[in-house]
Chains A and B, each alone.
Chain A
Amino acid sequence: MAVLLLADVANGQLAKDAVSKTVSAVAALGDVHVLVAGEGGDAAAAEAATIAGVAKVIFAGDHGFCHLLAEPTADLIVSMAGAYSHIAAPSASDAKNILPRVAALLDVMILSDVTAVVDGDTFERPIYAGNAIQTVKSADSVKVMTIRTTSFEAAADGNSAPVEALGTAASTGLSEWVEDKVAASDRPELTSAKIVVSGGRGVGSEEDFKIIEALADKLGAAVGASRAAVDSGFAPNDWQVGQTGKVVAPEVYIACGISGAIQHLAGMKDSKIIVAINKDEEAPIFQVADFGLVADLFDAVPELTGKV
């Protein structure tokens, strides 16, 4: 059977890295059909067709699928589900919103944040903020799952899969999109950046977060934050890394003024190299750091910015 993969698309932009990693996660399970939903998604659909391993792209271009509201998008996927053994999507906020709804409509369980595909029925996923890994075998007829993309390599490029238009009209009436507040940024996307520089409560203020951002910009890095930094208003919510924020696994993760609570570690402990800058030598972050520097971040971070 085949796999239906809901593409992550925002404002017509395909999250290509995430989709490509999801394709490679599910490639062994059958032909992969990528679903791009929403008017204006033509370019995203065309781009998805270039990912190696994609058998075809299905473009449902009705206006009602814009913003991927959960209710119509779940109905769309359910209407297509009969032809598929697996329904998957990268674990992004849209998929986390939509796929559990799809699963319940199909009377099957959801498999959230899959980190390994053992076979068509068996999957690994983290529980307890990544402090345990569970291997589960599903007895359901269709497996509905979100894929933790940091656990997979991107599929290659250089495909030209066919793009099929699907005329299904979106169901309406339950909810309505009002607005998005998205800060435009030239920085790389947090979940796919090679380097991430993160700041925690130790940074102290929104104003002082600029020294974190300056280091990030010098390195061409994305900026992350701990929950404490976001809750305190130093950084926007979409920078939060952790159990309930984003999961990242860059080449280098630089944690500045972050203590290393398990909920934070859950989002970054698979980074290749972890650097910690913290003035408390007992901070738990040093237990996972490859390179730890016990220092005041207000001295060390600007100095580092000057020397890289």
Chain B
Amino acid sequence: MKVLVPVKRVIDYNVKVRVKADGTGVDLANVKMSMNPFDEIAVEEAIRLKEAGKADEIVVVSIGVKQAQETLRTALAMGADRAILVTAADDVHTDIEPLAVAKILAAVAKEENPGLIIAGKQAIDNDMNATGQMLAALLGWSQATFASEVAVDGDTATVTREVDGGLQTVKVKMPAVITADLRLNEPRYASLPNIMKAKKKPLDEKTAADYGVDVSPRLTVVKTSEPPVRQAGIKVGSVDELVSKLKEAGAL
């Protein structure tokens, strides 16, 4: 079985984002970029399926700017076999919407015929939490989102999902789209030899136009603003003082 894993290049999760003074967006020039943490988990899960003999090839796909090539190389260094870069924007500030990304991924899936697609549950930049669900819809496939455990058995996958009340287990018919939550696994670091080897793994370059997908946004960004800043309050010296402050504030 082939596993397809979409990966996104996003601002590193440790970087404090800055809203541009003119309100047009967030400053991404010269900031550290990394693979979206949820996508690392998705790549790791695919590698584990391959190690367990349940998958034989892992194809990673990234859609965005040319620089996403680095993100794909990271995935190849972790253990993916092959990469597809779909260039859909020139400016690093352009975020391709989940709907357009899902359309491109659906086109890739039709060419590649994977048995399973594992995506991250959300990208930590736009926080949409949508691409996997949209992709499953466009392909007419089943979906199992927010996965914390995946067991593949023949043509079904049993997936434990993190939901509001606790955990839910569903059985989905394959091919399926699974989206990874934080506790699915702990992704490995790529070793130096694997980073070197990854440089020689195949990386195909495509454009959105190759798949006939119009990536123009449906949502126009009117403005981007800073959230209200919360002022630090006071330090209290003791539990007694805390209790009396809370009472004064009418909180107890």
Contacts and interface: CB of A to CB of B under 8 A. Distances in A.
Interface in A283-299: 286-295
A304 B242 contact: yes
A140 interface: yes
A231 B184 CA distance: 10
Interface string A148-179: 00000000000000000000000001111111
B172 A175 contact: yes
A70 interface: yes
A230 interface: yes
Nearest to A295: B239
A204 B226 CA distance: 35
A243 interface: yes
B192 interface: no
Given A237-B167, A289-B233, A96 B222 contact: no
Most buried by A among B98, B141, B217, B233: B233
B81 interface: no
Contact of A291 (B11, B225, B234): B234
A12 interface: no
Contacts of A178: 158, 169-171
Contact of A293 (B38, B98, B124, B236): B236
Given A138-B218, A292-B236, A132 B224 contact: yes
Nearest to B235: A292
Nearest to A97: B145
Interface stretch (A30-38, A46-54, A55-63, A122-130): A122-130
B128 A110 contact: yes
Contacts of A86: none
Interface residues of A, number: 90
B1 interface: no
Nearest to A303: B239
Given A132-B227, A174-B172, A140 B218 contact: yes
A140 B230 CA distance: 35
Interface in B67-123: 97-99, 102, 121-122
Interface in A114-134: 122, 126-134
B103 to A, nearest CB: 9
B225 A176 contact: no
A180 B230 CA distance: 38
Contacts of A288: 230, 232
Nearest to A179: B169
A96 B165 contact: no
Contacts of A102: 137
Contact of B236 (A109, A274, A291): A291
B194 interface: no
A6 to B, nearest CB: 14
A161 B211 CA distance: 48
Nearest to B130: A100
Contacts of B240: 307
Contacts of B233: 274, 289-292
A108 interface: yes
A131 B173 contact: no
A136 B167 contact: no
Contacts of A130: 227
Given A177-B168, A177-B170, A180-B167, A291 B220 contact: no
A83 interface: no
Contacts of A71: 142-143
Contact of B148 (A107, A136, A237): A237
Contacts of B249: 273, 290
A236 interface: yes
A269 interface: yes
Given A103-B99, A287-B232, A291-B246, 16 more contacts: A101-B133, A109-B97, A127-B125, A127-B224, A128-B11, A128-B26, A128-B124, A131-B17, A131-B227, A134-B224, A181-B166, A236-B166, A244-B38, A246-B164, A286-B232, A294-B235
Shortest beta-carbon contacts, A-B, top 9: A290-B233, A104-B134, A100-B133, A104-B137, A100-B130, A174-B142, A178-B169, A109-B218, A182-B165
21 contacts: A10-B164, A67-B168, A98-B133, A101-B136, A112-B127, A122-B222, A126-B227, A131-B19, A132-B26, A140-B218, A176-B171, A180-B166, A180-B167, A246-B164, A272-B251, A281-B235, A286-B235, A287-B230, A291-B233, A293-B235, A293-B239
